[in-house]
Amino acid sequence: MAGAPDRIYADASTERLLTGATAITFVRTIATLALTLWGAYDESLTLLVTGLVVYWVGDTLDGAWARLTDCETRIGGVIDMVSDRLSCGAFYVGLAWLQPAPLFFSDEPMELIAIPVAVYLFEFMVIDMFLSLAFLAWPIRSPNYFYVVDRRIYLWNWSRLGKAANSGLFAVLLLATGWWWLGLIIAVALLVLKCVSLRWLLQLGLPVPERVPAA
């Protein structure tokens, strides 16, 4: 059961680096990097977007596999977060590199697209990364179970709607419209949301583990 304590809370005896889920994470990250680098080198928006789709599909698949086979680990959760940001950074840097080429659904060139991309990357790779790693201060397996710590922070950041807004909304609207100002509005809104979430987290406080004498 998804909410069962044995699934929510970490177990040191099950922690390991190599699992089916982390294998999927490594494969999808390498594939994403290869496609996005190739797309930037070849100036191909199609390859870049293919890399983004591989990242999104792979990110869904590794989490689903971890839950299905009961191999969720805190190690795997951290590897997943770091890989997400590497994949995301590779795509958006490649996208900014292609400016001012037109997008798929718009004849407008991607002028000034580096501005919303920079704001989004700061939000996702710095503020959101800190928020996501905060789960390590509690004995839970991943941020997916942060509702047992603080439901408000969980709903705005790691619920299905929260994840979709943070990882998909910006990219989809930017690619579909080519309006850099719309991308900037979304990126700033996400940054504000993450800063508010960070304030909630700091008000909650991060527990510090007890000091254990060295063996």
Mean of the pLDDT values across residues 99-117? 66
Asked if residues 81 and 129 have their Cβ atoms less than 8 Å apart, the reply is: yes
Q: What domain count does the chain have?
A: 1
Query: Is residue 210 in a domain?
Result: no
pLDDT at 102: 52
Q: Please tell me which residue, 198 or 101, carries the higher pLDDT value.
A: 198
Query: Is residue 215 in a domain?
Result: no
Of the candidate ranges 1-5, 119-123, 177-181, the one whose mean pLDDT is the lowest: 1-5
pLDDT score of 103 more than 70? no
Query: Is residue 68 in a domain?
Result: yes
Here the CATH number for the domain that contains residue 143 is: 1.20.120
DSSP the chain: -TT-HHHHB--GGG--S--HHHHHHHHHHHHHHHHHHHHHHHT-HHHHHHHHHHHHHHHHHHHHHHHHTT---HHHHHHHHHHHHHHHHHHHHHHHHTTTSB-TT-SSB-TTTHHHHHHHHHIIIIIHHHHHHGGGGTTBSSGGGGGGT-HHHHHHHTSHHHHHIIIIIHHHHHHHH--HHHHHHHHHHHHHHHHHHHHHHHHH----PPP----
Distance CA 194, CA 126 (A): 10
pLDDT score of 73 more than 80? yes
pLDDT at 1: 38
Query: Is residue 95 in a domain?
Result: yes
Q: Please tell me which residue, 159 or 111, carries the higher pLDDT value.
A: 159
pLDDT score of 37 more than 70? yes
> Which of 68, 61, 77 lies closest to 2, judged by CA?
68
pLDDT tens digit sequence for 128-140: 999 999 999 999 9
The parent domain of residue 180 ranges over: 5-204
pLDDT score of 210 more than 90? no
Report residue 200: phi and psi, to 5°.
-60, -40
- Residue 137 token pair: 């201060």
Mean of the pLDDT values across residues 15-37? 96
Query: Is residue 209 in a domain?
Result: no
pLDDT at 168: 87
Bond preceding residue 109 cis, omega within 30 of 0 = no
